[in-house]
Amino acid sequence: MEIVDYIIAEDRELVKLSLDGDHTAFEYLFTRYSEAIRRLFMQRMSTASDADDLLQETFIKVYINLHRYSESYTFGQWVYTIARNTHIDFERRRQEDLPIDERFTAPWASAPSPEEKLISLQQRSQIEHYISSLPEQYRTLFKMRFLEDYSYDEIAEKLQLPMGTVKTRIHRARDRMCALIKSEK
């Protein structure tokens, strides 16, 4: 398979290829989801090394249990569930290691600080600005694929477009988004 084929391949296709022994396909699955899962852990962890450890543990579990993935869920939902359960297990192990008097102290607030809220709002508005800069034919597909997590099949069916057209437009939309982001930096 060419690199472009991996980039535009649906998660389901990459899972099937991974199960057939294609390690590059799994690398692309990891690349698609690792940053989001790492951010999830960083929001809940005190150190980056703990977040990195949990990220690694999560994707080891994903790799080992890939044959259990059911297409009735999106791959992202499945990975997120594994990540959430990995974090819960980590917290349980950590609580067991604490002395009894420290187990019942009030936890730190998990709400973001005002500065973090402002940064998040700015980032969200910047991304919305980039998306609104895309031509309509790309904007709709980009939102469906990356914000609403529709599969390529679902997009093709909903918009009544050929699969090749959907893949090409999503690829072009992704390229344009990258170009917009790079041009702003």
What whole-number distance in Å separates Cα of residue 160 and Cα of residue 66?
31
Give residue-wise pLDDT tens across range 122-138: 777 887 888 888 888 88
Give me the number of domains the chain comprises: 2
> Does the global pTM surpass 0.75?
no
pLDDT in tens, 27-57: 999 999 999 999 989 988 768 888 999 999 9
Domain edge (last residue) among 108, 134, 156: 108
Together in a domain, 74 and 122: no
Which of 93, 108, 123 finishes a domain?
Answer: 108
Percent of the chain with pLDDT over 90: 36
- Tell me, what CATH number does 63's domain have? 1.10.1740.10
- Both 126 and 142 in a single domain? yes
Which of 53-57, 172-176, 177-181 reaches the highest mean pLDDT?
53-57
Does one domain contain both 120 and 169? yes
Determine what percent of the chain is predicted with pLDDT higher than 70: 87
> Do 29 and 51 belong together in one domain?
yes
Average of per-residue pLDDT across 167-173:
89
Q: Are residues 98 and 131 in the same domain?
A: no
Judgement on whether residues 92 and 152 belong to the same structural domain of the protein? no
pLDDT band of 61, cuts 50, 70, 90:
very high
Given a cut of 70, is residue 101 above it in pLDDT? no
Residue 185 pLDDT greater than 80, yes or no: no
Q: Are residues 65 and 77 in the same domain?
A: yes
Q: Do 5 and 90 belong together in one domain?
A: yes
Range of the structural domain that residue 161 is part of = 111-185
Around Cβ 155, how many Cβ atoms within 10 Å?
22
Residue 10, SS3 per DSSP: coil
Report the pLDDT averaged over residues 100-125: 66
Q: Which of 78, 108, 138 is the last residue of a domain?
A: 108
Check residues 75 and 178 and name the one with the higher pLDDT: 75
Average pLDDT, the chain: 84
Contact 7, 1 (CB under 8 A): no
CB 90 within 8 A of CB 54: yes
pLDDT-derived band at 179 (thresholds 50, 70, 90) equals confident
**DSSP 8-state assignment for residue 113:** P
Residues 48 and 83 in one domain: yes
Q: How far apart are CA 25 and CA 15, in angstroms?
A: 7
Indicate whether 72 and 86 sit together in one domain: yes
DSSP 12-78: HHHHHHHHTT-HHHHHHHHHHHHHHHHHHHHHH-S-HHHHHHHHHHHHHHHHHTGGG--TTS-HHHH
Confidence of residue 98 (pLDDT cuts 50, 70, 90): low
Asked if residue 100 and residue 52 are part of one domain, the reply reads: yes
For residues 85 and 158, membership in a common domain is answered with no
| Choice between 181 and 33, residue whose per-residue pLDDT is larger | 33
Helices 75-97, 23-44: axis angle to 10 degrees equals 50
Q: What pLDDT shows up at residue 160? A: 93
